Structure 1
């Protein structure tokens, strides 16, 4: 696993030890960022269910100013912090060990608004539609902001809501699909 492009292109990233996380492959990460960026002119990113932090670090490398990384696993938090030190981006990041719903409430209380929100939860264990509704309800995504959802291809996400429209939807394998929404 590595940073694909930007300021930290080519730098290796560590994976979370064990098999509780499922890292996004470099090939999928590259395809995703080519369609949503490929580069950013500043902004804030929330990497929820961050795992190794690979997606959020990629966004920072491609020009986002600040990132918040959230995961509930201790091993993941340790790995994110190590990876941020490796790529020399710790000063651009906040890292929290928390449940996703608690993290969303905390971000709302702080009045945070993001240009990009990355959702890559454990498949079958999290209700993505409920999380998307909370993000909208808490007004956590900026107008024209992007919401990235990595999910099981069998999961049926809404094609459009009052606030979101699909920018891209792709099935990458029998186990990985990606839906990217743009906030209206």
Structure 2
């Protein structure tokens, strides 16, 4: 696993030991960021189910100003902190050790908003539609902000998801990626 492009390009990231996490393959990660628009001009990214931190680190490397990482597993947090130590920029990263659903509530209560939210949940515990609704309910998606979920193929998305415009869907082997944008308020 490595950072594909941008400021931190080529840096290798450690993997979380064991089989509790499933890192996004470099080819899939590169495709995901090419779909999002390969580079960013500032903004804040939220990396849910962060694991190694590969998605959030990639977003910061490509121009996001700050990344917040959420994971509840001790081994993932330990690996994530080690990966972030590779970059001499602690002010650009925040790590939260908590279950994703609790972190969504806490971040919402703190008035946090993100321009990009990345989520790669364990395939066995996918609650994508409920979490998309929670992100809006807690006002975490900034106006015009985008959300990207990587899920297993067993997730069936409806043609319309309340509060979002579906920008893109793509399948990669056993994974699918969906990119949505928060709809403008009526």
Class of the TM-score when normalised by the shorter of the 2 chains:
over 0.9
8 Å CA contact 1:81, 1:90 repeated in 2 = no
Provide the aligned length of Structure 1 versus Structure 2.
183
SS in 2 for 1:118: strand
Matched, 1:45 2:45: yes
Task: State the partner residue of 2:129.
Answer: 129
Task: State the partner residue of 2:6.
Answer: 6
Q: CA deviation at 1:80?
A: 0.8
User: Separation in 2 of the partners of 1:37 and 1:103?
Assistant: 27
In the alignment, structure 1 segments of 5+ residues that lack a partner are none
SS in 2 for 1:144: strand
User: Separation in 1 of the partners of 2:90 and 2:160?
Assistant: 36
Task: State the partner residue of 1:182.
Answer: 181
8 Å CA contact 1:52, 1:79 repeated in 2 = yes
* 1:60-79 → structure 2 map (5 Å cutoff): 60-79=60-79
Matched, 1:112 2:112: yes
Q: CA deviation at 1:172?
A: 0.4
SS in 1 for 2:39: coil
Task: State the partner residue of 1:94.
Answer: 94
In the alignment, structure 2 segments of 5+ residues that lack a partner are none
8 Å CA contact 2:126, 2:151 repeated in 1 = no
Q: Deviations over 1:105-149 (max 9, x none)?
A: 110011001000011110121311111110011111012211010
Task: State the partner residue of 2:160.
Answer: 160
TM-score in terms of structure 2 length = 0.95
Q: Deviations over 1:10-57 (max 9, x none)?
A: 111111011110000000000110110210000001101000000000
User: Separation in 2 of the partners of 1:88 and 1:10?
Assistant: 15
